[in-house]
Structure 1
Amino acid sequence: MVGAATPTSAAVAATVAQVVPSTGSPVVVELGPGTGSLSDGIHARLPAGARHLGIELGADMVAHLREHKPWLEVVHGDAGDLVSVLAEHRIDRVDAVVSSIPWSLLDDEAQGHILEQAAEVLAPNGAFTALTYVPAERTRNARRFRERLHETFDEVLTHTTWRNFPPILHYICRRPLV
C-alpha cells in the first residue's frame, strides 16, 4: 500500500529530520519509507556510525530502496512487527521512529498496536514522528490517531508544512506514557 499521493517534498524531509540526533551513534527506524523521500533527509542528518533501518511492507518498494538507498538497512516487513524486527537486528532502543505510513487508512486496532510498539522501543530522550495529510485530518481514523498519540505520549507537538502538495501535518511526540 502506498500512502503518499505525491513524493514528499525536501522541505518536509528536512523538517522531519530535525528529530534525528546529529551526534553520537543514534538508531533511527523509519516505518514505511516507500520510495525514500524522507530517507534522504534523515540520511543527510545522521552522523557516521549511526544506524538507519527502514521497515517497508511493499515488495516493490523494498527492491527500489535496496537499489537506490544502499546506506539504508531495509527490512521487508510490517510496522506492526516493530519489536520483533528490531530484536532480529539486535536493536533494543531507538532514538527516533519516523513514520510515513498511512495512519488514516489504518483501523483503530492497527494504530494502537503500532503506536504501543513504537513507544516501547524509544530511548528515554527519543522521539516518535508521524506525517499525515492535512485533508485526511477530517476522517474518523485520523481523529482517532490524534487521540491515540495524546494517550501514548506526554508531549505531542504539531507542525504544518504548506509547501507540500497536499499539505502535511507533522506530529512530533516524546516521553511515552506506557
Structure 2
Amino acid sequence: MTAQHHGRRAPERRTPGGTPLAEYGRFFRTALRSPTTVGAATPTSQVVGRTVAQVVPRSGAPVVVELGPGTGSLSGAIHHRLPGAGRHIGIELDEGLVRHLRTNYPRMETVHADARDLRGVLDRLGVEAADVIVTSIPWSLLPENAQGDILRQCHEALTPAGVFTALTYLPMQHTPTGRRFGTRLHSDFDEVLTHVTWRNLPPILHYTCRRPLVTNER
C-alpha cells in the first residue's frame, strides 16, 4: 500500500508526533492500559500511513474523519495530503491519547468520544457529511452490535461519492468477526477493494470502500 513516486524517491517527512521510539513507547503504554480499546501490537508504519492518505482529496474542502487515531501514526500522512481548506476530525476514546493528539496534531479537531457516537459528534461540529472516513479501530474485538452500529453510522455519514477505508491485521479476516466485517462492507458499498501492506509487523489488510449503497433497512 505504498504511495507511488516517480523518478527519485522523495525524502521522508517527519510527522509532528515525535520520534518513532517515543511513539512506540506511548502506544505500548496505552495498549497495556486499555488492550480492548487499542487492539493492536504495534502502531502502523509510515508506509501504511502514506497509503491510507491516498484516499484523501488534494483539492477543495474535503472533510476527513479518523476513528481511533491513537498516537497519530496515520494522522501525519493525512495532514500532508489534505488541502488547506479541508477539515480533519479525529474521534478518540482514550483520554491520554486525546491529550497527545491535541498537542502534536493541532490541525486535527480531536474529540474525546466513542466511535459509536460518530453521528452525534459530526452534528455537534456542524458537519453534514464526510468525504472520507479512515479507521483502524479493532474491528475483530468488537461485538456484533457495536460493529454494526459503527458501520451503519459511517455509511450514513458519508457523501454519495465518499470513501470508507479500514485497517485490520491480515490474519483477522479469517476470524468470525473478521468475516462478518467483510460481509457487511460488501453489503454496504458498491465497490470494496482490498490490499495488503507487507511492510508492517504484522501485515495490514486494507479495505477501501466507495459509493455507499442505499437500502431500506440497515
Count of aligned pairs between the two proteins: 178
| 1:35 to 2:71 alignment | yes
Q: Which residue of 2 aligns with 1:109?
A: 145
Distance 2:40 2:69 in 1: 10
Deviations 1:33-83 (A, max 9, x none): 000000011111001111000000111110111111111100000111111
Which residue pairs with 1:100 in the alignment?
A: 136
Say yes or no: does 1:172 pair with 2:170.
no
Greater shift, 1-10 or 71-80, is seen at: 1-10
Q: Is the 8 A contact 2:161 2:212 kept in 1?
A: no
Output aligned runs, 1:1-178, within 5 Å.
1-178=37-214
TM-fit CA distance, 1:152? 1.0
Alpha-carbon RMSD: 0.8
Unaligned runs of 5+ in 1: none
Cα deviation, residue 4, structure 1 = 2.5
Give the strand-richer structure, 1 or 2.
1
Structure 2 stretches lacking a partner, 5+ long? 1-36
- Separation (CA, whole Å) in 2 of partners of 1:128 and 1:101: 13
User: 1:108 Cα shift?
Assistant: 1.1
Q: % of aligned pairs identical?
A: 63
The one-letter code sitting in structure 2 at the alignment partner of 1:145 is F
Distance in 2 between residues matched to 1:176 and 1:54, nearest whole Å: 21
Cα distance in 2 for partners of 1:102, 1:31 equals 11
Runs of 4+ that moved beyond 2 A: none
Query: Partners in 2 of 1:152 and 1:113 — Cα distance?
Result: 13
Shift of 1:3: 2.4
The alpha carbon displacement at 1:158 in A equals: 0.4
